[in-house]
């Protein structure tokens, strides 16, 4: 397993280079996990990607590096301390890097010779493939499939020239990866929505959710999805609500700031009982915060967002595969309970790419359609008929003779405004009853580690991979670590947590935020207090290494 970093300024083409290299590595039989770290600017500054690859599935990034490709000296300065002693720093010979690990090659000269200074990154890819002892077998195809036709030839030459510049230093037994996909978290969410039958996606651009809008804009026409760039996030969610009312599965996506603007309409879906999926791809707040970085700090916000009280479901996606299946499940739950379902993802998942087993659209349990029900004895339609389950019939306007009326005011069974205390009580109780049903279908947190554990790590969402890998590493030394990783997070499933809590000596919450939001939700819902916290809030994702260090520091404190 290896870990390399490609770094340069925004605009240096690091992203394109990384995408090409990843594809070639996968073709060559590697599993991958790549994270993208970039600044909120279009040119300049310092951006990098970290590509971890090996012959087994990977679920997280690591900090320590085997190699660096440095376009500039900044990259060297910023990252050299992560590099292992026998690692390499691939860079152009012109860079003044004084380090025995430097592997200076005439990358620029070669690119210039080829007639286009921009192909320097292809020269570097060639060199990197050689260093890790891969062939150029897949290079031509990859370039053909991903570059403009007139650029293929020169980049292929560049790859070959780079390949010839150096010699192999590392080797890896290749795996069979042709049954695996390579994609980002946001792509997986998009695909999950398609598998669930989405027909309407509205959004306003906002990092790191924008690639979701791109996804539906690109594939919408072919896949029967109307993708609409709204004038603002308020319009985005109110559009999605309109579409859902009209009977088509609808979703909107944004990041925390846009979610803030959607809060009022979220309550509207609550009282009007409109099925809706809302994706919050988190980034560090408050406000504009760190636009292109990652955090898990919207949890408490989204579980209680909007005035008044209504049932909702919040699912924190844990990895790329989860992005697909949980998005699809969100549509089913939203439809079944006529509630908003909030998918919590984050920049880490959204922008990272990894290899995962092929997603299977046929495995999606399609959203159950609530029966439209009949007109009543007076030929009127009770959209909000009081039922024991709290779930009312759901007719689609125009599709039956029912006149379907919905209302953001408190209303009676017909959707007509009311001021009655009695009806109000019944409607509140009807809506809240759905929450009880919902609790019965919660998925308990995934357990990982030693069943007789003494230390229990708890986390949610995108830290999943790192927590699991950390637990494995810890258990290799002392086999008493376990972890519970929450996906379904609101309502919070507490059974498994209470079971383990009664057995362990300590609970440690691991979160990508400053206040320990999961821990406080656990206090509230399970009356359990976490004993220690490992928190990170600098916008860079908690790594396996951060967790190991965190645990070590805690032990020091015992």
Partner 1 sequence: MKKTAFTTSETAWCPGCGNYSILETLTGVLNQMETPPHQVVLVGGIGQAAKANQYISANGFSGLHGRSLPAAVAIKIANDDLTVIVNTGDGDSYGEGGNHFLHNIRRNVDITHFVHDNQIYGLTKGQPSPTSDPCDLSHKINACNMGATFNPLLIAIAVGATFVARSFSGDKEHLAEIMQAAIKHPGYALVDILQPCVSFNKKNTFAYYKQRVKPLDPTYDATNKLAAMEKAMEFGDTIPIGILYQEQALTYKEKRPELFDAVPLIDKLVNLEDVQALIHRYI
Ligand X SMILES: Cc1ncc(C[n+]2csc(CCOP(=O)(O)OP(=O)(O)O)c2C)c(N)n1
Q: Please name the residues in contact with 458: beta carbons below 8 A apart, sequence gap of 6 or more.
A: 445, 483, 484, 485, 486, 497, 507, 508, 509, 510, 518, 519, 522, 530
Binder to ligand X among 258, 311, 459, 516 (CB under 6 A)? Answer: 258
Select the residue interacting with ligand X from 64, 94, 288, 304 (CB under 6 A). 288
Question: In the structure encoding, which two tokens stand for residue 368, read together?
Answer: 């159950």
Beta carbon nearer to its own copies, 5 or 110 = 5
Of 47-55, 255-263, 503-511, 543-551: span binding ligand X (CB under 6 A): 255-263
**Is residue 231 near partner 1 by the rule CB under 8 A?**
yes
User: What is the residue whose two structure tokens read 């990508």?
Assistant: 512
Q: Residue 194 binds which entry of partner 1, ligand SF4, ligand X, none, with Cβ cut-offs from 5 to 8 Å by kind?
A: partner 1
3-state secondary structure 524-545: HHHCCCCCEEEECCCCCCCCHH
Q: Which of 222, 306, 293 is nearest to 259 (CA)?
A: 306
- C-alpha 208/C-alpha 81 separation (Å) is 28
- The answer to the question of residue 269 lying near partner 1 (CB under 8 A) is no
Does 117 interact with partner 1 (rule: CB under 8 A)?
Answer: no
Given the rule CB under 6 A, which residues bind ligand SF4?
42-43
Residue 310 near its own copies by CB under 8 A: yes
| Binding status of residue 50 toward its own copies by CB under 8 A | no
Determine if 75 is a binding residue for its own copies (CB under 8 A): no
Please report whether residue 301 would count as binding its own copies according to CB under 8 A.
yes
Altogether, the residues listed in the chain come to a count of 558
Q: Binding partner of residue 240 among ligand X, partner 1, its own copies, none, CB under 5 to 8 Å per kind?
A: partner 1
Choice from 56, 421, 451, 558 touching its own copies (CB under 8 A):
421
Nearest to 388 by CA among 336, 438, 437, 442: 437
Which of its own copies, ligand SF4, ligand X, none is residue 531 near (CB under 5 to 8 Å by kind)? none
Give the CB-nearest residue to ligand SF4. 42
Pick from 38, 88, 204, 324 the residue near ligand X by CB under 6 A: 204
49 binds its own copies (CB under 8 A): no
Residue 520 lies near its own copies (rule: CB under 8 A): yes
Residue 3, token pair as written in the block: 């870990």
Residue 354 binding partner 1, by CB under 8 A? no
Q: Is 361 left (phi over 0), alpha (psi -120 to 50) or beta?
A: alpha
CB proximity list for 379: less than 8 A, separation 6 or greater = none
Nearest distance in Å: CB 315, ligand X: 23
Task: Tell whether residue 282 is a contact of its own copies (CB under 8 A).
Answer: yes
Range 12-19, long-range pairs (CB < 8 A, 24+ positions): 12/47, 12/71, 12/72, 12/121, 13/118, 13/121, 14/47, 14/48, 14/49, 14/71, 14/121, 15/47, 15/49, 16/121, 17/121, 17/122, 17/124, 17/125, 18/49, 18/51, 19/146, 19/353
Binding mask 233-262 for partner 1 (x = CB under 8 A): -xxx-xxxxxx-xxxx-x------x-----
Which regions of 414-539 does DSSP assign to beta strands (E)? 446-449, 455-460, 481-486, 488-490, 506-511, 532-535
Which one of ligand SF4, ligand X, its own copies, none is in contact with 205 (Cβ closer than 5 to 8 A by kind)? ligand X
- Contact flag: residue 360 with partner 1 (CB under 8 A): yes
State the binding string over 368-407 for its own copies (x if CB under 8 A, else -). ---------------------------------------x
Residues 6 or more apart whose CB falls under 8 angstroms from that of 30 comprise 53, 54, 55, 172, 174, 175, 177, 355
Asked if 424 is part of the footprint of its own copies (rule: CB under 8 A), the reply reads: yes
Binding-site partner at residue 484 among its own copies, ligand SF4, ligand X, none, CB < 5 to 8 Å by type: none
CA–CA gap between residue 327 and residue 350 (Å, rounded) = 13
**What does 537 interact with, of ligand X, its own copies, partner 1, none (CB < 5 to 8 A by kind)?**
its own copies
Chain positions contacting ligand X, by CB under 6 A: 204-206, 233, 257-258, 261, 288
């Amino acid at each position: 397993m290896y870990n390399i970093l490609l770094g340069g300024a925004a605009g240096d083409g690091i992203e394109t280079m990384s995408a090409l290299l990843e594809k070639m590595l996968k073709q060559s039989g590697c599993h991958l996990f790549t994270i993208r770290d970039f600044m909120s600017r279009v040119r300049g500054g310092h951006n990098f990607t970290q590509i971890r690859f090996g012959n087994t599935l990977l679920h997280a990034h690591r900090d320590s590096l085997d190699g660096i490709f440095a376009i500039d000296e900044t990259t060297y300065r910023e990252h050299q301390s992560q590099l292992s002693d026998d690692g390499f720093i691939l860079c152009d010979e012109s860079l003044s890097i004084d380090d025995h690990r430097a592997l200076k090659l005439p990358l620029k000269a070669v690119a210039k010779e080829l007639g286009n200074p921009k192909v320097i990154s292809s020269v570097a890819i060639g060199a990197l493939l050689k260093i890790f002892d891969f062939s150029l077998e897949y290079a031509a195809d990859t370039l053909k499939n991903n570059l403009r036709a007139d650029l293929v030839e020169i980049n292929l030459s560049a790859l070959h020239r780079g390949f010839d510049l150096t010699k192999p230093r590392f080797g890896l037994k290749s795996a069979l990866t042709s049954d695996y996909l390579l994609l980002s978290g946001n792509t997986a969410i998009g695909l999950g929505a398609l598998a669930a039958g989405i027909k309407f996606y509205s959004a306003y651009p906002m990092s790191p959710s924008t690639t979701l809008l791109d996804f539906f804009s690109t594939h919408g026409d072919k896949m029967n999805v109307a993708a609409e760039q709204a004038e603002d996030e308020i319009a985005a969610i109110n559009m999605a609500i309109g579409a859902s009312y009209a009977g088509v599965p609808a979703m909107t996506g944004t990041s925390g700031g846009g979610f803030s603007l959607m809060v009022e309409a979220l309550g509207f879906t609550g009282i009007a009982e409109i099925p809706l999926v809302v994706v919050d791809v988190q980034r560090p707040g408050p406000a504009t915060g760190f636009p292109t970085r990652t955090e898990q700090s919207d949890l408490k916000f989204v579980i209680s967002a909007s005035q008044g009280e209504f049932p909702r479901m919040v699912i924190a996606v844990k990895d790329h595969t989860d992005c697909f299946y949980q998005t699809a499940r969100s549509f089913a739950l939203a439809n079944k309970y006529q509630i908003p379902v909030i998918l919590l993802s984050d920049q880490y998942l959204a922008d990272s790419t990894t290899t995962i087993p092929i997603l299977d659209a046929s495995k999606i349990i399609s959203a159950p359609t609530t029966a439209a029900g009949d007109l009543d004895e007076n030929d009127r339609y009770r959209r909000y008929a009081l039922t024991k389950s709290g779930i009312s019939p759901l007719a689609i306007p125009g599709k039956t003779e029912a006149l379907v009326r919905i209302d953001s005011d408190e209303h009676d069974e017909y959707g007509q405004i009311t001021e009655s205390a009695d009806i109000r009580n019944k409607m509140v109780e009807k809506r809240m009853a759905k929450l009880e049903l919902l609790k019965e279908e919660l998925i308990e947190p995934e357990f990982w580690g030693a069943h007789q554990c003494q230390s229990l790590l708890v986390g949610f969402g995108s830290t999943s991979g790192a927590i699991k890998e950390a637990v494995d590493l810890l258990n290799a030394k002392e086999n008493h670590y376990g972890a519970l990783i929450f996906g379904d997070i609101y309502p919070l499933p507490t059974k498994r947590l209470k079971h383990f809590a009664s057995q362990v000596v300590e609970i440690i919450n691991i979160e990508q935020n400053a206040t320990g939001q999961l821990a406080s939700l656990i206090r509230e819902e399970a009356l359990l207090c976490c004993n220690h916290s490992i928190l990170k809030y600098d916008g860079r994702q908690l790594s396996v290494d951060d967790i190991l260090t965190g645990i070590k520091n805690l032990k020091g404190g015992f």
